[in-house]
Structure 1
Amino acid sequence: MNRKYDALALLSGGLDSILAMRTVMDQGLAVLGLHFTTPFFGKPHLIPFWREHYGIEVEAVDIDSEFVAMLLGDPSQGFGKWLNPCIDCKITMLGRAAALLPAYGAKFLISGEVVGQRPMSQRSDALNVITKRAGVRDLLLRPLCARNLPPTPMEESGLVDRDGLLDWRGRGRKPQYELAGRYGFTEIPTPAGGCCLTEVQGSARFARLLMHRPEPEPVDFRLARAGRQLWAGSHWLAFGRKAEDNDALESCVIPGDYVFRLADFPGPLAVARPLAGEWDAGAVHDAAALVASYATRARRHFEATGQPVRVVVRRGVKSGAGGEIVAVAPSRDTALPWAEPQPAAVGEWKKNRAARPSRAPLAPAGDTA
């Protein structure tokens, strides 16, 4: 049985969301932070650190399916500079949090927004849109700027003391740092939660994927985020730059993928996901040669001996024995013109998207429309 709480808070892991929780906790109320995870943001591995250093309780909540459905289903409030649907993102998270209130016996929701802090999602009009579309007008408390907003039912009922809330406004960060100091925080997290949809390189990766697979699954986005990304037309190859990348790529393997690993030397693991039918032998050979070219010892071996390098190619199988051996000369000069995704892909995808007929949002996997 879930422990009971007075409130559930949206916790990105940024400073504002932590301070919002602590401000309400100071009134003797029990608050649980919900840390939402998607292919684009989420750091659940930091939850033990947050508990210890900031004195808060946190649980991770996977919203992969509903977030991807929102992203692909024409976000009602549009995108920011890159692929960030910030307003619809907050609407999605608040909707999920509201649905979880009964499970924890909680009475209201908390978010760390500050009026005017962010140009897209924290304007006064944007905050009103978020509250209305998420259906949480009588449930949502924004403790850091509450005294700049009309009183909520929680304040009017006396459940929350309005005088104990804050009146922050604008983009300055001095009040946040001062309050963090009063709480004794020795490590100050960044203001944002680290969404890669707000970043140029992350958006370029996802836009290129969307151009070739219009309705990707969450696992496709996770693969697009991992390691180094190379494309040649519709041929997609992701490979590791370090051990952590190799592990992340291995976790993304699904049936049908090509998995490349050097047979005799240390080097990157690579995953290729066919998007337009099976790869021919030439494409597989090109990818194997490219992967081998990023393995220093394999490349030096070939330069010294002229002997080809063996690359194991598995199909849709995670770590283990087996696979076809492909002998290659390590090379980045291959028949396929491999290149990294470029930021221009974002604008191209947005332009193509705007030209198509509007459609209703997709239902999350497993849901009915």
Structure 2
Amino acid sequence: MTHKEIDQYHALALFSGGLDSILSIKTIQEQGLKVLGLHFCSPFFGNPQKLEHWEKVYGLDLLALDVSREYVQMLCSGPEFGLGKLLNPCIDCKIFMLQKTRDLLDKYGAEFVISGEVLGQRPMSQRRDALFVILKEAGLKDLLLRPLSARHLPPTRAEREGLVDRGQLQAISGRGRKEQMALARKYNITEIPTPAGGCRLTDQESCKRYLPLLQHHRPGPEDFVLANQGRQFWCESYWMTIGRDKQDNERIQEMVRDDDYMFWLKMHPGPTGLGRNITGSPWPGKVLQSAAALVGHYSPRARKCLRKVDVTVQHKGEQTELSVWPGPDLEGLSWAEPVWDQDAARGLFAV
């Protein structure tokens, strides 16, 4: 049991690793209060490997919490408050994290929750009306303190009862960063995180990888983790991941499940391919042939040999060899990288 599992804190905080979350915690720490930052992790966000560094550099107490399965379930069920520009359920996301934090208050003896939200900074989740919706839906009325915009918002119980001095809280609003940078200097923060939110659901390159998963499958967290790797290809409802380099190949090999198909070239250096079986039925022979040819296509040596190459296919512990011409199209089947389709994404969650 770590010290964070037994220590008591005045407040629990949402900690993303961004500057606003750092500053919100420092603002409360400055008043002599003890804060535990909760760093939520899923296939879309979170860097638990950085926690030790952040604790040392910023003088924080942090704890990583993996919420992958519950978060994916929320996303796939259709976010109640809709999506942002891409696949980002920003309002539902914030409510989700705050509810998780609320449930831990008693464990840590904490009296309130803090977050780094800034009024008017984000168009979907940080409008004034959205902040109040989040507050209500998370069940944190009077318990959620937003230190960076606190003096633009009604006082919380911690302020009214004197645990927190409202006069020492901030009145920041809008999308500018001047006031945050001034606070960073005040707290002697020299390592400034990049301003991007760090959520893959706000990144089009990532979302185009996720879209076919949502269209063809009821994905789990491990599927989204795989979708983050290597090159992605789809042929109807058949899905292939192909490594770009040795590191990719090693990661892909670590993700294989019993019903997956693994592909690698027998006589030439090249990528590892993983065919995830989301249909529940064995892949037809022509699909396996075309997938093997696709793996061969991404081996320069295989393409240059100007003849058929042998590709080993492993499935459920058994291996077979296929002789194919390297190429992205075979047996009348064409593999293609996914593309982002805004209308298709919206259609997934249409009522």
TM interval, shorter chain, is over 0.9
When residues 163 and 204 of structure 1 are mapped into structure 2, their CA distance, relative to the original with a 3 A threshold, is same
Q: Is the 8 A contact 2:39 2:63 kept in 1?
A: yes
The match for 2:319 is 323
The match for 1:283 is 287
Q: Is the 8 A contact 1:255 1:316 kept in 2?
A: yes
Matched pairs, number: 345
The alignment's C-alpha RMSD in Å is: 1.8
Q: CA deviation at 1:316?
A: 5.2
1:163 aligned residue (167, 173, 183): 167
When residues 250 and 102 of structure 1 are mapped into structure 2, their CA distance, relative to the original with a 3 A threshold, is farther
Q: Which amino acid aligns with 2:262?
A: V
CA distance in 1 between partners of 2:156 and 2:173 (Å): 18
The match for 1:224 is 227
Q: Is the 8 A contact 2:76 2:214 kept in 1?
A: no
Q: Is the 8 A contact 1:205 1:224 kept in 2?
A: yes
Q: Which amino acid aligns with 2:337?
A: E
Of 117-126 and 137-146, more deviation after overlay is shown by 137-146
1:59 aligned residue (63, 66, 70): 63
When residues 283 and 101 of structure 1 are mapped into structure 2, their CA distance, relative to the original with a 3 A threshold, is same
% identical equivalent positions: 50
Q: Which amino acid aligns with 2:325?
A: A
> TM-score of the superposition, structure 1-length normalised?
0.88
**What is the DSSP-based 3-state SS (H/G/I as helix, E as strand, rest coil) of the residue aligned with 2:329?**
coil
**What is the DSSP-based 3-state SS (H/G/I as helix, E as strand, rest coil) of the residue aligned with 1:244?**
helix
When residues 247 and 164 of structure 1 are mapped into structure 2, their CA distance, relative to the original with a 3 A threshold, is farther
Q: Is the 8 A contact 2:13 2:113 kept in 1?
A: yes
The match for 1:367 is none
When residues 176 and 243 of structure 1 are mapped into structure 2, their CA distance, relative to the original with a 3 A threshold, is farther
The match for 1:351 is 347
Q: Which amino acid aligns with 2:328?
A: R
The match for 2:205 is 201
Q: Which amino acid aligns with 1:176?
A: Q
The match for 2:28 is 24
Q: Is the 8 A contact 1:266 1:297 kept in 2?
A: yes
> TM-score of the superposition, structure 2-length normalised?
0.93
Q: CA deviation at 1:256?
A: 0.8
The match for 2:312 is 312
When residues 174 and 259 of structure 1 are mapped into structure 2, their CA distance, relative to the original with a 3 A threshold, is same
Q: CA deviation at 1:311?
A: 2.4
Consecutive unaligned residues of structure 1, counting only runs of 5 or more, are 357-369
Matched, 1:70 2:91: no
CA distance in 1 between partners of 2:114 and 2:55 (Å): 18
* Runs of 4+, deviation exceeding 6 Å: none
Q: CA deviation at 1:41?
A: 1.1
Alignment of 1:51-200 (within 5 A): 51-200=55-204
Q: Is the 8 A contact 2:215 2:348 kept in 1?
A: no
The match for 1:359 is none
CA distance in 2 between partners of 1:57 and 1:125 (Å): 31
When residues 77 and 292 of structure 1 are mapped into structure 2, their CA distance, relative to the original with a 3 A threshold, is same
CA distance in 2 between partners of 1:33 and 1:192 (Å): 19
User: How big is each residue's C-alpha offset from its partner over 1:125-159, in whole Å with a ceiling of 9 and x where there is no partner?
Assistant: 00000010000112211011111111100111111
CA distance in 1 between partners of 2:63 and 2:45 (Å): 15
CA distance in 2 between partners of 1:284 and 1:118 (Å): 46
Q: CA deviation at 1:178?
A: 1.9
Alignment of 1:333-348 (within 5 A): 333-334=329-330, 335-344=332-341, 346-348=342-344
Q: Is the 8 A contact 1:5 1:105 kept in 2?
A: yes
Q: Which amino acid aligns with 2:333?
A: L
User: How big is each residue's C-alpha offset from its partner over 1:194-245, in whole Å with a ceiling of 9 and x where there is no partner?
Assistant: 11111112222212111111x2211122222222111111111111113332
**What is the DSSP-based 3-state SS (H/G/I as helix, E as strand, rest coil) of the residue aligned with 1:323?**
strand
Which structure ranks higher in relative contact order (CA pairs < 8 Å, sequence separation ≥ 6)?
Answer: 1
Q: Is the 8 A contact 2:296 2:303 kept in 1?
A: yes
**What is the DSSP-based 3-state SS (H/G/I as helix, E as strand, rest coil) of the residue aligned with 2:333?**
coil
Q: Is the 8 A contact 1:15 1:188 kept in 2?
A: yes
CA distance in 1 between partners of 2:115 and 2:251 (Å): 31
Q: Is the 8 A contact 2:99 2:138 kept in 1?
A: yes
CA distance in 2 between partners of 1:182 and 1:95 (Å): 32
